[in-house]
Amino acid sequence: MTPTEGNLAQQTEEIEVLSSIFLDRVTVHSSTQFDVRIEPEAVLRVTFPSTYPSEVITRYNQSRPSVGGICMFRPLYNCLTSRFMLPIFELSAPMLSKKRKDQLGRQLEQIGCQYQGLPVVFTWVEAIQERLFQWSHHSKTGEKGRKAATKNANYNPGVDLCPQITSGAVIEDRKSVFQAHFAVVDRIEQVEAMLAKLKTNRKISNAKHNMLAYRMKAHDGSVVQDFDNDGENQGGSRLLHLLEAAGALNVAVVVTRWFGGIQIGPDRFKHINTAARAILEAEGVIGKGNAGKSKRKRG
């Protein structure tokens, strides 16, 4: 196999993995070009050069033109000892200022250096998603959200706070095991009680990660939401993104991962997403095969 053929095979595999993780958020235009919709108004277009990801080159050029709301990157990062061609990508995000686009560009270039010679698009998407989440969502959560949810008109401190919990089927891959848990909730205390109840199971308590996300409607009609990665970077935030995409309300999802000692890379996010989607479908929160439309909203 020639270097070009090897690169093409890796590119094809990378697109397949991204499509399995992000589902209908990926639109493939050709064998070397595709879009990833990160938010409704944020789309990343990626084009693979023939030398990506593993071919070392000796000359490089770098430009970062910006046209309207689109910031185009043609990065070819110099990593001291080797130079690898990275994908060309265009980030369409008209809601971001030039300063923030530049911040993202620098961050992605740094990631490119760390992943030299390896597939990088998944990590880029996660980095962009996390930045956008921090900039647009973080202020809606935290202590303010806790207070708003506690004031929910249905709050009754005299009742048993722990909601009914449903657990889904397990997913196994290279000795790692994933399992999702679901509950209907309408206040923060129920979310905390759900997690505490799950952890009374010693097996769940000893798991590597118990990633959490919830969304609920407070008494004033505002949406209260938050997540906990529990040590798995992007784990909980991806669950919250799934709930947001489904328009789900008054639900909490926990995905437990037992680590089997073998690194499985981005596939872990595919399994986290699959486990969560399966239990949300089983509970009627989202329709089968459609993460973007809620079948029915809890509460």
- Over the stretch 80-113, which tens digit does the pLDDT of each residue have? 444 567 788 888 888 888 888 888 888 887 777 7
Number of domains in the chain: 2
Same domain for 144 and 278, yes or no, is: yes
Asked if the structure places residue 149 within a domain, the reply is yes
Same domain for 122 and 11, yes or no, is: yes
Q: Are 93 and 42 in contact (CB under 8 A)?
A: yes
Asked if the structure places residue 126 within a domain, the reply is yes
Asked if the structure places residue 291 within a domain, the reply is no
* Overall average pLDDT of the 153-164 stretch: 55
| Per-residue model confidence (pLDDT) at position 81 | 40
**CA dist list (Å): 81 to 57, 84, 90, 116:** 11, 10, 27, 11
Same domain for 167 and 74, yes or no, is: no
Same domain for 169 and 269, yes or no, is: yes
Q: Is the pLDDT of residue 159 over 80?
A: no
State the pLDDT confidence band at 57, using cuts at 50, 70 and 90.
Answer: low
Higher pLDDT residue, 173 or 78?
173
Last residue in a domain, options 136, 166, 198: 136
Same domain for 256 and 225, yes or no, is: yes
Same domain for 128 and 13, yes or no, is: yes
**Distance between CA atoms of residues 136 and 48, nearest Å:** 30
Asked if the structure places residue 293 within a domain, the reply is no
State the pLDDT confidence band at 69, using cuts at 50, 70 and 90.
Answer: very low
Closest CA to 282 of 258, 253, 240: 253
Same domain for 111 and 40, yes or no, is: yes
Closest CA to 125 of 236, 238, 49: 238
Q: What pTM was computed for the model?
A: 0.52
CATH number at residue 182: 3.30.230.30
CATH number at residue 75: 3.10.110
Cis peptide before 53 (omega within 30 of 0): yes
Residue 3: both structure tokens together: 């270097």
Asked if the structure places residue 299 within a domain, the reply is no
Last residue in a domain, options 104, 136, 168: 136
Which residue range is the domain that position 256 belongs to?
Answer: 140-282
The amino acid that residue 223 corresponds to is V
